[in-house]
């Protein structure tokens, strides 16, 4: 049985600079990341719908978009002209538009499950001024793999403008919330990390010079082996999918805004 923990976190602030638009924790050498999506290979026409993305990391995966109610993931300008980002649907009246980017293993190896290893994941993002507040669209899930009832899960959500990181495994389910409240239209980066028995989330807003002051909140608690029941379960960006790769129609938790520099890294 999982032990669910949602604890007050310890906090630290880390000042750092970013070069070339690489996300928090994303190395300059793409082979160090299992998944690395920068979207610079998307259509040069801003506003064009994108149905796939190219992984620049080492994992053998494919990344494809699933849509609902006329939703689309479209090419958009990245922060301060740093190439391309993607934009997910804005909030709308129910049934609101949905688009979710799924990332699937293409071999029998599960390159998306960290198991007992230390790992980190995250992205750059800019949240819309208006967010979904209906029963159908009331969350903003940024990056995740696995649902709440799956054997394992990792997730970053920005619900009510407060970033939170969840990691669930054989030894427990831990959620740590950032003390940062996201401002409207600012570009941020977020990194969730499991290191030993510590789960942490670091969040910071980009300054005009590209620097980021990251505020890190941590919880000390075991999570154990982190893996979904099936290697075919997708990692997702911008919302939720079922283990079979369909949009979670009961509550897709559509991310409303821009995303760039998605990454997943695992030790070893």
User: What's the pLDDT at 253?
Assistant: 94
Three-state secondary structure call for residue 161? helix
pLDDT at residue 42 above 70?
no
Q: In the CATH hierarchy, which fold is given to the domain comprising 4-266?
A: Jelly Rolls (2.60.120)
Rounded CA-CA distance 180/216 in Å is: 9
* Inter-CA distances, 39 with 5, 47, 183, Å: 35, 13, 24
pLDDT at position 18:
40
Question: Tens digits of per-residue pLDDT, 208-247?
Answer: 999 999 999 999 999 999 999 999 999 999 999 999 999 9
pTM of the model: 0.89
Q: What digits encode the pLDDT tens for the residues 58-108?
A: 999 999 999 999 999 999 999 988 799 999 999 887 788 999 999 999 999
Going by the DSSP 8-state scheme, the letter that residue 8 receives in this structure is P
Least confident segment among 41-50, 165-174, 196-205, 223-232: 41-50
């Amino acid at each position: 049985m999982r032990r669910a923990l949602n604890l007050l976190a310890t906090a630290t602030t880390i000042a750092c600079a970013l070069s070339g638009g690489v996300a928090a924790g994303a190395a300059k050498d793409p082979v160090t990341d299992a998944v690395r999506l920068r979207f610079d290979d998307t259509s040069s026409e801003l506003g064009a719908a994108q149905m796939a993305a190219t992984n620049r990391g080492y994992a053998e995966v494919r990344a494809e978009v699933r849509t609902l109610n006329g939703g689309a993931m479209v090419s958009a300008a990245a922060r301060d002209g740093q190439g391309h980002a993607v934009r997910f649907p804005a909030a709308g009246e129910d049934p609101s538009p949905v688009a979710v980017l799924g990332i699937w293993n293409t071999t029998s190896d599960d390159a998306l499950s960290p198991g007992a290893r230390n790992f980190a994941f995250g992205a750059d993002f800019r949240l819309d001024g208006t967010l979904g507040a209906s029963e159908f669209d009331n969350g903003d899930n940024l990056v995740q793999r696995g649902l709440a009832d799956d054997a394992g899960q990792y997730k970053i959500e920005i619900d009510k403008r407060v970033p939170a990181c969840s990691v669930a495994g054989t030894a427990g389910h831990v959620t740590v919330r950032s003390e940062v409240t996201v401002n409207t239209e600012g570009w941020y980066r977020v990194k969730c990390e499991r290191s030993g028995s510590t789960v942490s989330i670091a969040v910071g807003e980009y300054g005009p010079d590209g620097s980021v002051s990251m505020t890190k909140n941590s919880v000390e608690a075991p999570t154990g082996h982190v893996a979904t029941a099936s290697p075919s379960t997708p990692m997702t960006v911008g919302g939720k999918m079922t283990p079979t790769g369909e949009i979670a129609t009961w509550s897709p938790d559509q991310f409303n805004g821009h995303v760039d520099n998605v990454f997943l890294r695992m030790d070893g």
